[in-house]
Amino acid sequence: MFSRVMKRIGIRGVYVPFKVDPGNIGQAMEAMRCLNIDGANIGNPFKESILPHLDVLSEGANIIKAVNTVVRTGSTLKGYNTNAIGFMDTLEKAGFDTAGRNALIFGAEGAAKAVVFILNWLRCERVQIAGRYKKNLDTLLATLEGEAVRLKDISTSPCTANILINASSASSPDEAPKFASIIERLEIKACELVVDLNYGHKNNFWKKLAQSRGIPFIDGLTPLAHAARRTLLLWTKIDVEAGEFIRALESDNREA
């Protein structure tokens, strides 16, 4: 995606993947300094373990305690979380104002942290997080404002949320049949938007839920493109419209 976009707009640069063993993230960050690498994307399982190896964190990354973008300035490495700001851009583009509204989030790990942070930042009135594991919920709510709800309770009684967000890894019945069954039977009131942070999943049960109730649906391609736009802006100081990244992602998928 980044290579396609940089080539299209004439940026002299290359985007390459590096395989790093979990215990070597510190050495990888030192290599950025030694090799004069301008920036990096950080994927799982490093978004949290990278924190001690960075010199500075953005305000959002410091609160979320997770980083997906690193920028090198001289020998200084600064970490950012563009997933959060990319999600904000997605809501703005959709014309959805979260101020004073209720949100229901499924999932309690890295992606959920970014969403909960930005919803609080945007003055969402009530943020509920549904997760399978109490430990993950407790960790998330130790640093971010929200309330935990049990999947069991959601599956047996109606819930009210103006926006529903899937921040879990599951979007297909093949991946999580029991979870899919819960979502397909979900009784949700006042919902105006469903967002799935995954994309490209077949038989997407979040999309099915939205369509069956006449609710607008956004899949993960759009938030990913907005996050990528913010990342490239941090690396190059060049602002490229999110549509360029969507087209690049679609081209990558066709060639995969």
For residue 255, the model assigns a pLDDT of 66
- Phi, psi dihedrals of residue 216, rounded to the nearest 5°: -55, 145
How far, in Å, CA of 214 to CA of 217, rounded? 9
1 within 8 A of 245, measured Cβ to Cβ: yes
Lookup: tokens for 171: 């979007």
For residue 110, the model assigns a pLDDT of 79
Residues 60 and 110 both lie in one domain: no
Helices (H) and strands (E) in the chain, counts: 11, 12
207 classed as catalytic: no
CATH number at residue 191: 3.40.50.720
Among residues 47, 65, 78, 113, the one annotated as catalytic is 47
Residues 175 and 202 both lie in one domain: yes
Residue 88 lies in a domain: no
Residue 20 lies in a domain: yes
For residue 99, the model assigns a pLDDT of 97
Separation of first and last alpha carbons in the chain: 12
Full-model pTM? 0.92
Please give the residue range of the domain that contains residue 208. Answer: 96-218
Residues 49 and 14 both lie in one domain: yes
Contacts of 1 (CB under 8 A, 6+ apart): 15, 228, 245, 248, 249, 252
Distance of CA 83 to the CA centre of its chain: 4
Residue 254 has pLDDT above 80, yes or no: no
Give per-residue pLDDT as tens, 31-56. Answer: 999 999 999 999 988 999 999 999 99
As to burial, measured by CB atoms within 10 angstroms (0-12 exposed, 13-18 middle, 19+ buried), residue 35 is exposed
Residue 116 lies in a domain: yes
